[in-house]
Each structure stands twice: as C-alpha cells, then as structure tokens.
Structure 1
Amino acid sequence: MTHADLPQFDPIKAAWNTVATYSNYDEAQDAVNRLNAEGFPIEHLDIIGSDLRLVERVTGPANKLRAAANGAFSGAGMGAVLGLVMGLFSPGFTWLAMTVVGAVIGTIWGAGFGFAAHAFGGGRKTFTSTRGLVATHYDLVARGGRTEQARILLAGTNP
C-alpha cells in the first residue's frame, strides 16, 4: 500500500462527518467500542485529537545518583540484548552466560555514562520529567456516508 492509497484527512469534510466530540481519548475509544459491539463497520471511523498541547510531567529532582541509576538500567537492558544476540551463535547454554555478562557490563558502563553525563553535562535542567502530546478534545469522525448511522447507534447505547 502506497501513501496515495491511504485515506487522506480533509478537515472540511471531517467537520460535516463528526459523529461526536469528547473531552478525553478514553471516551472516544469507548464510543468506538460501543459502535463495534453494535456491528458498525469501525474501519470507517477516525478519532481526531485537536488543539494539541505539550505536557511535561515533572517526576522528581535530577541528581547524580538518579542519573547513574537510570544509566545502569538502560545499560543493563542494552547489554543483555547484545549478549543474547551474540550468545545465539554459541553452542549449548553459552547464550545464557553471555546474556548475564552482557547485562552486568552494560549496567556498569551505563551507570558510569549516566553519572558522567549529569556531572559534566552542564545542563540547566535540575529535574527529571516525561513529555507527551495531549489534545484538548477528540472528534469521532465517520467516513463513507456513515455519520448518521453512527450517531443513531451511539444515541441508542448507554455510555
């Protein structure tokens, strides 16, 4: 399937095909689930988030110990995967030993790099956080002339 084969979003058509508007994604997802339970062909639906906002949730202070711990965790995972891949080409249960050794080496290197990055990075950010995009509202849009059918089915089901 090429890009030309994919259905393209047209905001003008979507304005006329909006089945319902929801304040959060879970409500829009529940509406799709209800329509699916009613036998509606849900492959003709889109959930469109509008008015996006970047939300950064502060998870705590950043310090050298936390940076080293995060680096150790990441390094352990990377080392275990690399050890496993290399161990797959070894006879017997050597793969297990290589996975463990890779995780240990990755933990040590990851902790060192995490500590050094925080200690010598010179950044101004003194906290840790996670980022995500959040829409202020979500429109449930039906394609292919199925808007009214979807509205009727949603009106007849309990939320």
Structure 2
Amino acid sequence: MLLTVAVFPSPAFASEWGCEVLLCASSSNPSWRGVPACHPPMNRLISAMKKPGFDWPTCPEGGTGAPGYERYAECPEGYQVGSSRDRNGFARNGDLCVKTVNVCQGNTHGLYNSDRQRSCIQTVSMSRPLRSEPYYFDIKNDTSGQTERHWFELHK
C-alpha cells in the first residue's frame, strides 16, 4: 500500500500543483518569470509537457481546466486570416494574413478596359504574426462576473 502512494500522487497534490500553475500563469505584472516562487511549478510543467501521456494539471477550485492555445496573433487592420498550402496541397491552419488591393489605384494614364482593371486587383499576403504568449486561461472574475483572458508563455 505504501508503494502505491509513492508511485501515484494524490489528487490533492495534483490539484495543488495545478493551482500553482494557474496562479503563476495568470500573473501579468510581472509575468511568472518575474516571480521566483513560480519558477519551480512552471519549470516542472514545462518538463512534464515533454513526456508521453502528459495531462495538464488542473485547478478545480479556480474553475478552469487545461489552458487554451492560439499560435497566431491577429492580422493587422485591413487583412483577413488566410491559409497557405503545404507540398501536398493541404491548407495550413490560418498561417497567413491576406488582403485584396488595387495596384493600379492612382494611375490616371487613360482609360482601362475591364481585363486591365481585373489585372489591377491582386491578393497580397504576409505570414501571420506568432503570439509571444500563445497559451491562455479564461478566468471568471467573481466580483464583476466577467471572464478575463490571461495570456502566458512556456519557454525555459
């Protein structure tokens, strides 16, 4: 029986670690990196994520489960999310920012026929920016009732 306790951590211990992770990840000023007490639980998390069968430690008391993850930031104003294609023709998941522009706009040298005008309309794209903090927890504020998103990163 003693061996079982040593091999399998108790749910209370896992919950405690999950709550430490939640508190540290939601720290914004400073981020968890600026809070020395956050280094052990967050470094443990980063190491655990590399192991097969990883399950995110949760904090039921905090009302959250595993965090969300959004790799890409929003596109700049005027751009829409688009996707490039890989070698096999499959669309990648929203990795581009695209917009349609008139490259002839401002050119007043005579009239254009409809074919020329169509050739003036081009789609331009750029790589979608990556988030510096791609993970997030949505935490409900008990006072206001509003849900607040707390972004964080997990690099050693």
TM-score, structure 2 normalization: 0.20
Q: Which one has the bigger helix percentage?
A: 1
Q: Which has the higher contact order (CA 8 A, sep 6+)?
A: 1
